[in-house]
Amino acid sequence: MKRIYVNEAWCLGCRLCEYNCAFANSGMQDMASALKGKPIFPRIHIEQANAITFAVSCRHCTDPICVKSCIAGAIRKTDGVVQIDQTKCVGCLTCVLVCPYGALAPNENGVMQKCELCLRNACGEPACVKGCPNRAIVYEEREADA
Amino acid sequence: MNEYVIIGNGVAAAGCIEGIRSADADGRITVISKETHPVYCRPLISYYLEGKTDLARMPYRDADFYEKNGCRVLYGRTAEQADAANRTVTLDDGTVLPYTSVCIATGSAPFVPPIAGLDTVPVACTFMTLDDALALEQATQTPRHVLIIGAGLIGLKCAEGLHGRAASITVCDLADHVLPSILDADSASVLQTHLEQNGIQFRLSDTVECFCGNTAHMRSGETIRFDVLVLAVGVRANAALAKDCGCETNRGILVDVSMETTVSGIYAAGDCTEGTDISAGQKRVLAILPNAYMQGFAAGMNMAGAEASFDNAIPMNAIGFFGLHTMTAGTYDGEVYTEETETSRKKLYTKDGLLKGFILIGDTTRAGLYTALIRNRTPLDSFDFDTMKKTATFASLSADMRKRCFGGVV
């Protein structure tokens, strides 16, 4: 199962991943009309510790507690990808309360969203990975630690 | 072939079904459902009244959930009795079901206090089930004056749900602040102000002495006229069936980390149980949805012969009103770190080198990082808690810890 992994040593903190994510999930054709002059709601975010920066997005956990905690039955894991049915979400934020990675946040309408690996948008592969200028975010298969 | 019987059809039951099926594809599962609806989550009923969800979107699982999991569901039936010696459950219609293992997931029921004149009130509801919500929807087809007794989670969510439908909403409670089970008085005041700004009226430290039709005579001497009464004083675990067949009970059915009761072969899960709250180190009824699912799943796995334990339960709630979100978790014990503004609160409670609990009102961004510190009992000296206190961020962790989280499979 391919997942997104980050290497903080290579992260420049340029936040292109946030913009590429917001654009990929906007459903719009060009980036300027999708993002220019608007607050953006990306599903990946950059955190900063002194000189270090790194990107945080859903880990698609082996045993995802968000799925077990969702009061609407709106989050499920299918073929290794944790996905939200946004039509069922009521915006209670229980998933925010339980996600140990801080990987879920509401969109501009208060409906929850999270990284779904761009598998359901036009990008088809993680836009954050595709656009990362320094390969600090990769999309690949890794083994679980024994 | 194993015969599994699940008494109840809520979220704990759904967890139990999925737990059983993760370990046993073949055993027969019979679900006894008092309500005539497929599994839905109780907390959704206020969102239903509010119009944020509807009957089509409310089911917890897909329409073919029971069929796909090979479950027989007996709707409109209740279990009257369990016989641990002969391993049978007897239903209200006399049917006797044999079991290899049984899970009691009977939930809880509203406690209705014996208030004088309650029987003279024309429209009185509780707020626990989908049918309760449908009844309230009917009762508020035209704007009505609503009186809610109880300023807890159920009473206040009901108030929010009815807000757009009611002519007025008054909430009374004997406690001196709202959400007394999860908030201190100071944090509650922030929320109460917000609710009042949205038109909810409160009568706290006061209760109904007696009813006379549509009039409530309060202990304070005030009289309140209303059209619709909602009783949301509290809930009690449905533990009688378990008690009658020999399971030890306290405020709920006692379970160990495998979710087995004190009687072999009888498991229990969800709001009817009393498990260990690891933040307080005490037995407690933790009637919250995530615990119901996780208890149910663990019970199901163990019933099917696999091994599972659910050993890190804590109380936790995410509850929002009119756009203001509140999150609480754990126990409010020890030293407190506080940040506050007029419209927000952040309180983190630490003791013995661990985060024990928190209250967040307003900014709840990445609150799950705090919850994980409580559940995992992460020693606060193993990372930069001073940074974490201010902002829930992985920046406060060591590079090694971050590498494990974001560079590996979790």
* CATH code of residue B331: 3.30.390.30
Query: Could you give all domains of chain A from N- to C-terminal order, each with its CATH number?
Result: 1-57+115-146 (3.30.70.20), 61-101+109-114 (3.30.70.20)
Closest by CA to A5, choosing from B404, B397, B393, B398, is: B404
Residue A145 has pLDDT above 70, yes or no: no
Count Cα neighbours of B333 within 13 Å in the Cβ-side half-sphere.
12
Mean pLDDT, to the nearest integer, of A72-87? Answer: 96
Report the pLDDT value the prediction gives residue A49, as an integer from 0 to 100. 78
Is B288 strand, coil or helix? coil
Q: In whole angstroms, what separates CA B96 from the centre of its chain?
A: 31
In-domain check, residue B317: no
Residue A51's pLDDT band, with cuts at 50, 70 and 90, is confident
Same domain, B36 and B76: yes
Q: Are B194 and B345 in contact (CB under 8 A)?
A: no
Q: Which of B174, B199, B233 is the last residue of a domain?
A: B233
Residues B124, B136: Cα–Cα separation, whole Å: 9
Q: What is the mean pLDDT of residues B180-187?
A: 97
Statement to judge: residues B176 and B280 lie in one domain: no
Residue B312 lies inside a defined structural domain of this protein: no
pLDDT at A122: 86
**CATH code (residue B50):** 3.50.50.60
Residues paired with B126 in a beta bridge: B231
pLDDT at B66: 98
Measure CB to CB from residue B318 to each of A54, A96, A101 and give the nearest one: A96
- Does B223 lie in the same domain as B130? yes
Angle (nearest 5°) at CA B107 between B210 and B281: 100
Best mutation target among B394, B398, B400, B404 (most A Cβ atoms within 10 Å) is B394
Q: What is the pLDDT of residue B203?
A: 98
- Decide if A48 touches B, using CB distance below 8 A: yes
Q: What is the mean pLDDT of residues B292-317?
A: 96
In chain A, beta strands by DSSP E: 2-6, 45-49, 52-56, 75-78, 81-84, 105-106, 112-113, 137-141
Residue B274's pLDDT band (boundaries 50, 70, 90)?
Answer: very high
User: Please, are residues B163 and B199 in contact by the beta-carbon 8 Å criterion?
Assistant: yes
Residue B50 in any domain: the answer is yes
In this structure, the answer to whether residues B243 and B102 fall within a common structural domain is yes
Residue A54 in contact with partner chain B when CB distance is under 8 A: yes
pLDDT in the model for residue A146:
47
Which site among A68, A99, A137 would you substitute to test the B interface, given the most B Cβ atoms closer than 10 Å to its Cβ? Answer: A68
Q: Would B204 be classed as within a structural domain?
A: yes
Is B396 in the A-facing interface, judged by CB distances under 8 Å? Answer: yes
Q: What token pair was written down for B102?
A: 């049984």
| End-of-domain residue from the set B233, B263, B290 | B233
Position A95 scores a pLDDT of: 98
> Of B233, B258, B285, which marks where a domain is finished?
B233
Q: How many domains does chain B contain in total?
A: 3
Instruction: Say if residue B157 is in the same domain as residue B298.
Output: no
Within-domain flag for B49: yes
Domain that holds residue B39: 3-108+236-303
pLDDT tier, A124 (very low <50, low <70, confident <90, very high otherwise)? confident
Lowest mean pLDDT among B38-47, B115-124, B173-182, B391-400: B391-400
For residues B345-370, average pLDDT: 97
Chain B residues whose CB is inside 8 A of the A68 CB are: 15, 290, 293-294, 297
Specify whether B87 is located in the same domain as B128. no
Share of chain B above pLDDT 90, in %: 97
Q: Are residues B29 and B131 in the same domain?
A: no
Integer Cα distance of A88 and B408 in angstroms: 31
pTM above 0.90, yes or no: yes
Same domain flag for B156 and B221: yes
Q: Give yes or no for residue B101 having a pLDDT over 50.
A: yes
Nearest CA in chain A to B50: A90
List C-alpha distances in Å: A125 to A11, A117, A128: 20, 6, 9
Cα atoms found within 13 Å of the Cα of residue B58, Cβ hemisphere only = 23
Residue pLDDT, tens place only, B82-99: 999 999 999 999 999 999
* Residue in B327, B330, B328, B333 with CA at minimum distance from that of residue B279: B330
Chain A 55-74, CB below 8 Å of chain B: which residues? Answer: 55-56, 59, 61-62, 65, 68-69, 71-73
Q: Does B317 touch chain A (CB under 8 A)?
A: yes
